[in-house]
Amino acid sequence: MTPYQQLEARFARRGTLNEALSVLNWDYSSMMPAGGAQARAEQMSTLEVMAHEILTAAELPDLLDQAQGQNELSDWQRANLKEMRRDWLHATAVPASLVETLSKASVECEMAWRDARPANDFAGILPKLRTVLELTREVAAAKAAKLDKPLYDALLDAYEPDGSAAEIDRQFAALSAFLPAAITAAIERQQSRPAPIQPQGPFPIERQKLVGLKFMAALGFDFDHGRLDVSAHPFCGGTPDDVRITTRYREDDFARAMMGVLHETGHALYERGLPADWRRQPVGRARGMSLHESQSLLMEMQACRSREFLEFAAPLLSDTFGGSGPAWDADNLYRLNTRVSRSLIRVDADEATYPAHVILRYRLERAMIEDRLQLADLPGAWNDGMRELVGIAPPDDRDGCLQDIHWYCGLWGYFPTYTLGAMTAAQLFQAATAQDASIRPGLAKGDFAPLLGWLRRNVHGRASSVPAAELLTDATGKPLDAEAFQRHLQTRYLSE
């Protein structure tokens, strides 16, 4: 076997372990009884250690160097090699003892956060969060040295390969230039019109599930290769050949679960569309979290909150729930599902205000990683930022800097991908609909085949064979540009 082939065999084994981990995690979240938690943690930790050992094997650096010198490699093989090296750098940059210490500190802090948030007790959790932050800064320093990147970029690279704070600054500056005025204008425009009517429940869960399954089928979800289940925190898991999405239901509101299912279906279609020839190889994976989020937001925000889709959805919804009257009109549903309002909680935010929440978190986490903001000053900085960016401030930390799990469970450098994803979604959707005139009329008939075909060719099927920026340029004619997102808001909230 050539060095490259040896690497492929090793990474195939690692990819297979990661698939097994993904199934175990799905089961943990959607099926497992509580008493199984400790044994499951041992199972997952053992598989993670074994996957990690493959990357830290003594022969790996030599194999990577030797494979680099092989002349006969295809473009995909070269790209695969590049991703192998990235994985290896991330795995070996940080001493195993530091990884373990941070992992334990994160679990402990996350557990404490589950009580601290409802108790509104930021002071109480501060010592544990400080430990997590300090260890994360150590990890960032170690990765920065090995990856030759600034501190924040070194963390970001694990979620957004080749991303940089400099680029995010540029994008978020462009966003910030129009977002506050756009939000104000959208809210004023809404207030000048009659409020939309909320359909009245209860909406039986079995009916909601039926709606979810129908829409999943319309979007192109392949039930021979996936499932829909329930979990406390909706997610898309499983593997490309067996994609497992979850949602949660509330009897008094069907829109939340419905939009959640459409969102996760976007993620699922990406996973399912990854090239079968590169299963379990690094190059066969999705191209980072921004692009992943772009696929869920393209389906949820761009396609399924459109007038076209809601025209298709309205009769199906009123039939399924036995609803009648103006609340079930497509126009009313459209106005309900495109409502803009300033809110304290990120996960409840609409697509117009959501980026403001993200910009705040990005600024704060970067300042903390770069030691320009002390943890004790976080609540004040949070509230100041909320006033500036969203226009309101929380009455307490529960709905302020305690609201998101990310920092408390050790997830630093992840937040900006949400908004980069939203911007990417707008740009991809505008390019797709411009290139294929059958896409928008398709949505009105529940026919997503033209849209999905375009995404398969331009996004899903390319996996990690090129950087995200190159993929976006190939698909849309230019690199990421806030103008597409601005146009989307303008059209949906200020023109239609």
Q: Which residues are catalytic?
A: 264
Residue 39 sits in the site that holds its own copies (CB under 8 A):
yes
Residue 444 sits in the site that holds its own copies (CB under 8 A):
no
- Measured from the CB atom, the residue of 149 and 280 that comes closer to its own copies is 280
Residue among 186, 160, 86, 157 nearest 421 (CA): 160
Cβ–Cβ under 8 Å, residues 402 and 344: no
Residue 50 sits in the site that holds its own copies (CB under 8 A):
yes
What torsion, rounded to 10 degrees, do the Cα atoms 435, 437, 441, 443 define?
-10
For the chain, how big is the Rg over CA atoms in Å? 23
Residue 55 sits in the site that holds its own copies (CB under 8 A):
no
Q: Which stretch binds its own copies (CB under 8 A): 36-44, 116-124, 290-298, 341-349?
A: 36-44
3-state secondary structure of 93: helix
Which helix (H) or strand (E) covers residue 311, if one does?
Answer: helix 307-321
- Measured from the CB atom, the residue of 209 and 342 that comes closer to its own copies is 209
- Measured from the CB atom, the residue of 171 and 281 that comes closer to its own copies is 281
- Measured from the CB atom, the residue of 75 and 222 that comes closer to its own copies is 222
Residue 225 sits in the site that holds its own copies (CB under 8 A):
yes
Cβ–Cβ under 8 Å, residues 78 and 59: no
Residue 207 sits in the site that holds its own copies (CB under 8 A):
no
Least separation in angstroms between CB 22 and its own copies: 9
- Measured from the CB atom, the residue of 22 and 101 that comes closer to its own copies is 22
User: Measuring CA to CA, how many Å separate 253 from each of 199, 299, 355?
Assistant: 8, 20, 25
Residue 151 Cα to chain centre, angstroms: 22
Select the residue interacting with its own copies from 4, 7, 11, 17 (CB under 8 A).
Answer: 17
Residue 388 sits in the site that holds its own copies (CB under 8 A):
no
Cβ–Cβ under 8 Å, residues 106 and 125: no
User: Measuring CA to CA, how many Å separate 51 from each of 2, 21, 266, 318?
Assistant: 22, 10, 28, 49
Residue 212 sits in the site that holds its own copies (CB under 8 A):
no
Residue 43 sits in the site that holds its own copies (CB under 8 A):
yes
Residue 180 per-residue DSSP state: H
Residue 36 sits in the site that holds its own copies (CB under 8 A):
yes
Least separation in angstroms between CB 58 and its own copies: 17
Least separation in angstroms between CB 325 and its own copies: 33
Tokens of 327: 């609340």
Residue 206 sits in the site that holds its own copies (CB under 8 A):
no
Cβ–Cβ under 8 Å, residues 281 and 409: no
Residue 24 sits in the site that holds its own copies (CB under 8 A):
yes
Select the residue interacting with its own copies from 239, 318, 332, 486 (CB under 8 A).
Answer: 239
Select the residue interacting with its own copies from 6, 16, 131, 320 (CB under 8 A).
Answer: 16
- Measured from the CB atom, the residue of 42 and 384 that comes closer to its own copies is 42
- Measured from the CB atom, the residue of 41 and 437 that comes closer to its own copies is 41
Residue among 237, 233, 227 nearest 260 (CA): 233
- Size, binding site for its own copies by CB under 8 A: 35
Select the residue interacting with its own copies from 10, 146, 207, 227 (CB under 8 A).
Answer: 227
Least separation in angstroms between CB 271 and its own copies: 12
**Which stretches does DSSP call E strand in 75-137?**
none
Please give the backbone phi and psi of residue 67, each rounded to the nearest 5 degrees, phi first. Answer: -65, -35
Residue 232 sits in the site that holds its own copies (CB under 8 A):
no
Within 343-382, the residues that bind its own copies by CB under 8 A are none
Tokens of 366: 């970067």
Select the residue interacting with its own copies from 127, 189, 200, 223 (CB under 8 A).
Answer: 223
Q: What is the DSSP string of 217-273?
A: HHHT--GGGEEEEE-SS--EEEETTEEEEEE--BTTBSHHHHHHHHHHHHHHHHHHH
Residue among 274, 330, 280, 279 nearest 307 (CA): 330
- Measured from the CB atom, the residue of 16 and 190 that comes closer to its own copies is 16
Task: Enumerate binding residues for its own copies (CB under 8 A).
Answer: 13, 16-17, 19-20, 23-24, 27, 31-36, 38-40, 42-43, 46-47, 50, 222-227, 238-242, 279-280
